[in-house]
């Protein structure tokens, strides 16, 4: 029963990680870029959300409604001002640029919000739970999981069914060929990053509701997102989702074994997957 | 079919010029500086020796990162994993097992060597930017392992109390010699490597890995060797740094700050050149002394400068200088000169 409980908690935790991982999978799939400031953007959005909530006395839902468009705008600006200049086959420029951005963001947040941990007041939603078969499940983690599933489903459908999705997939397969068929890669890239950071807007609200955020927390979120993407297998949105579940379950079981072992257990599962199945659990092997 | 007229060609007589005047001047200065560092106990105070030691560690770590990112195309953000591993190895060997610390410094290098091999074999499966984050995960794994490992006193860290058996002067002599040796191995070793046959292969690989492979360069093997060499170099810097610190904790041993330092130094100074590492290290060292007290604001500026260099001046300061004046300090080119002129 105790282990089953850990499993359930792990899946719920995975819902949180999926919200970080989707954006990273999307950006890497389309541009072959990893944004090192990915986690710092989550924290920045969380802190902005907390400040908005305290200044205007808003509940979580209105904060979400304000924050997601803001995140989309941030992603668009990030692409226009920084990433469009560094996208290319050489990974160095994009890594260095976003690395510098990450250091600057972390310390800027430290200046503005100080090193204190903060959280978003949920007006009771964070402490409610429902009982299913002897296990108490927090209402908030359940909502997080549901939203993560919805986002994954929505992103998958967008990629498969819409004109924008087709343009994205074409650009990720071959930029030059896509450009020949009339797709503007820069515009596609800007929309992809806007969507990726927009999803982080959801993640930011839920992260701040579920636990606390502090300016130095970003790199940990980046690493979880990355591990989820690699465990699940690159190239598929549902792979990133499944990888998040595996990571969440590994951490939850690790925490149950020893509180000092939780995060390490996630890393170890990541390394085992890398050693035994480098294409990820649900990825296709490279020919 | 008529035979194609074939003119017998002779290989023209040329001299291969590999050294320049600027190179000879710089080499003389470098040797003098190295002697100066080795002789520090006789001219510098303990405080100065410590400052120079930190500067030497910056130079060594930055040059190791430069070899990885600038030549092998491996962008690591987790080289501090090997610094901390060697630092811990030194503390365990010297403090727990009672081995002479100045011998243990060299023995401790076995640990990063042994760790770098399996880690590279795992991480090289990751594509480009994902490799970088993978190196970061490895550093995190090291930090969390050290925090849970009773052998290294878990999260509480260790102190190098055996150093009190040596007088301050003896320690200064050892630190100065170690610093000079570290510079010789990391900078001198890199310079020697770049001037050798491997250097040609490395530069070819930096310019275009696919083309280099088609010319017979074993890119896979060379990348592996550079990764291991860089791990050992970082390990040496870590062992010396923590020997001077006399204390190590999981947080300080595996501090991502070192990744910031290496990236800032190499990118601002100029990637793919030894000159750039020296310029960048001096700038960072001075900036750290002058502006370090501003804390967060200082790091915001450092971060933005790194971003700006990546966006607008990818060759760094040395790139801008060498575009204007052709006077390399550490020439690695082979220039063909007609002896008749």
Q: Where are the domains of chain B?
A: 19-254
Note whether A30 contacts B: Cβ–Cβ < 8 A. Answer: no
A219 neighbourhood in chain B, CB within 8 Å: 136, 256
Whole-number pLDDT of residue B25: 84
Whole-number pLDDT of residue A287: 37
**Cβ pair A274:B314 closer than 8 A:** no
Low-confidence ranges of chain B (pLDDT < 70): 1-9, 341
Q: Could you report the per-residue pLDDT of B11-68, keeping only the tens digit for each?
A: 777 787 777 888 888 888 888 988 988 888 888 888 899 999 999 999 999 999 999 9
- CB nearest to B133's CB, from A107, A226, A268: A226
- Rounded to whole angstroms, how far apart are CA atoms A279 and A284? 6
At B55, is the secondary structure helix, strand, or coil?
A: helix
- With tokens 């087709």, the residue in question is A166
CB atoms within 10 A of CB B78: 25
B140 neighbourhood in chain A, CB within 8 Å: 223, 263, 267
**Cβ pair A92:B134 closer than 8 A:** no
Instruction: Report B:71-90 residues touching A (Cβ under 8 A).
Output: 73, 75, 77
Whole-number pLDDT of residue B219: 87
At B27, is the secondary structure helix, strand, or coil?
A: helix
Whole-number pLDDT of residue A72: 94
- Rounded to whole angstroms, how far apart are CA atoms B20 and B43? 32
A86 neighbourhood in chain B, CB within 8 Å: 310-311
The dihedral built from the CA positions of residue B320, B325, B331 and B337, taken in this order, carries a sign that is positive
- Rounded to whole angstroms, how far apart are CA atoms A265 and A159? 33
**Cβ pair A97:B126 closer than 8 A:** no
Note whether B209 contacts A: Cβ–Cβ < 8 A. Answer: no
Q: Answer yes or no: are the C-beta atoms of B46 and B168 closer than 8 Å.
A: yes
Nearest CA in chain A to B138: A267
- Rounded to whole angstroms, how far apart are CA atoms A137 and A143? 11
A224 neighbourhood in chain B, CB within 8 Å: none
| Domain tally, chain A | 1
Q: Answer yes or no: are the C-beta atoms of A184 and A194 closer than 8 Å.
A: no
Instruction: Report A:253-272 residues touching B (Cβ under 8 A).
Output: 258, 260-261, 263-264, 267-268, 270-271
**Cβ pair A223:B302 closer than 8 A:** no
- CB nearest to B132's CB, from A82, A95, A264: A95
Q: How far is CA B60 from CA B104, B182, B237, in A?
A: 19, 7, 6
Q: What count of CB pairs under 8 Å joins A to B?
A: 135
Whole-number pLDDT of residue B162: 86
CATH of the domain at A55: 1.10.3470
CB atoms within 10 A of CB A228: 30
- CB nearest to A111's CB, from B145, B271, B296: B296
Instruction: State pTM to two decimals.
Output: 0.88
Low-confidence ranges of chain A (pLDDT < 50): 286-287
**Cβ pair B297:A99 closer than 8 A:** no
Q: Is residue A41 part of a domain?
A: yes
């Amino acid at each position: 029963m105790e282990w089953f409980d850990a499993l359930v908690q792990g899946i719920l935790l995975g819902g949180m990680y999926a919200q970080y991982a989707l954006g990273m999978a999307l950006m890497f799939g389309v541009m072959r870029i990893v944004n090192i400031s990915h986690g710092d953007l989550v924290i920045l959005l969380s802190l902005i959300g907390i400040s908005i909530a305290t200044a205007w006395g808003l509940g979580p839902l209105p904060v979400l409604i304000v924050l997601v468009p803001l995140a989309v705008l941030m992603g668009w600006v990030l692409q226009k001002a920084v990433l469009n200049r560094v996208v290319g086959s050489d990974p160095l420029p994009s890594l260095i640029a976003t690395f510098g951005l990450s250091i600057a963001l972390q310390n800027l947040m430290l200046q503005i919000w100080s090193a204190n941990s903060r959280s978003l007041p949920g007006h009771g939603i964070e402490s409610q739970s429902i009982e299913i078969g002897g296990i108490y499940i927090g209402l908030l983690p359940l909502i997080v999981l549901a939203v993560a599933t919805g986002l994954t489903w929505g992103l998958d459908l967008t990629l498969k069914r819409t004109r924008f999705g087709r343009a994205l997939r074409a650009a990720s397969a071959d930029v030059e060929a896509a450009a020949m068929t009339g797709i503007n890669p820069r515009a596609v890239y800007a929309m992809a990053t806007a969507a990726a950071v927009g999803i982080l807007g959801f993640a930011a609200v839920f992260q701040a509701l579920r636990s606390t955020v502090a300016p130095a927390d970003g790199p940990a979120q980046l690493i979880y997102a990355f591990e989820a993407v690699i465990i699940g297998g690159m190239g598929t949105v549902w792979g990133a989702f499944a990888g998040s579940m595996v990571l969440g379950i590994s951490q939850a079981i690790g925490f149950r074994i020893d509180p000092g072992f939780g995060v390490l257990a996630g890393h170890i599962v990541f390394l085992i997957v890398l050693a035994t199945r480098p294409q990820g659990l649900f990825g296709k092997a490279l020919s | 079919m008529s035979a194609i007229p074939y003119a017998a060609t002779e290989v023209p007589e040329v001299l291969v010029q590999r050294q320049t005047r600027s190179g000879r001047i710089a080499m003389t200065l470098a040797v003098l500086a190295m002697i100066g560092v080795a002789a520090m106990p006789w001219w510098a105070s303990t405080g100065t020796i410590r400052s120079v030691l930190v500067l030497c560690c910056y130079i060594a770590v930055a040059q190791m990162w430069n070899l990885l990112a600038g030549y092998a195309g491996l962008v690591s953000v987790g080289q501090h994993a090997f610094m901390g591993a060697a630092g811990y190895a030194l503390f365990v060997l010297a403090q727990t097992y009672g081995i002479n610390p100045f011998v243990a410094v060299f023995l401790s290098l076995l640990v990063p060597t042994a760790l770098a091999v399996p880690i590279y074999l795992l991480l090289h499966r990751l594509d480009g930017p994902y490799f970088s984050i993978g190196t970061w995960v490895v550093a995190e794994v090291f930090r969390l392992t050290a925090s849970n490992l009773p052998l290294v006193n878990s999260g509480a860290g260790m102190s190098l109390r055996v150093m009190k058996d040596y007088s301050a002067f003896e320690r200064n002599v050892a630190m100065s010699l170690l610093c000079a040796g570290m510079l010789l191995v990391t900078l001198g070793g890199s310079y020697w490597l770049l001037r050798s046959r491997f250097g040609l292969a490395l530069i070819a690989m930096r310019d275009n890995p696919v083309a280099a492979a088609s010319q017979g360069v074993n890119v896979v093997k060379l990348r592996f060797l550079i990764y291991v060499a860089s791990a050992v170099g970082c390990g040496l810097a870590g062992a010396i740094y923590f020997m001077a610190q006399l204390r190590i904790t999981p947080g300080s041993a595996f501090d991502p700050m070192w990744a910031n330092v290496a990236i800032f130094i190499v990118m601002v100074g100029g990637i793919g050149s030894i000159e750039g590492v020296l310029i960048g290290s001096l700038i960072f060292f001075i900036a750290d002394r002058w502006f370090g007290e501003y804390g967060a604001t200082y790091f915001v500026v450092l971060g933005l400068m790194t971003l700006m260099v990546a966006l607008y001046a990818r060759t760094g300061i040395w790139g801008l200088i060498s575009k204007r004046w052709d006077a390399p300090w550490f020439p690695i080119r082979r220039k063909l000169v007609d002896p008749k002129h």
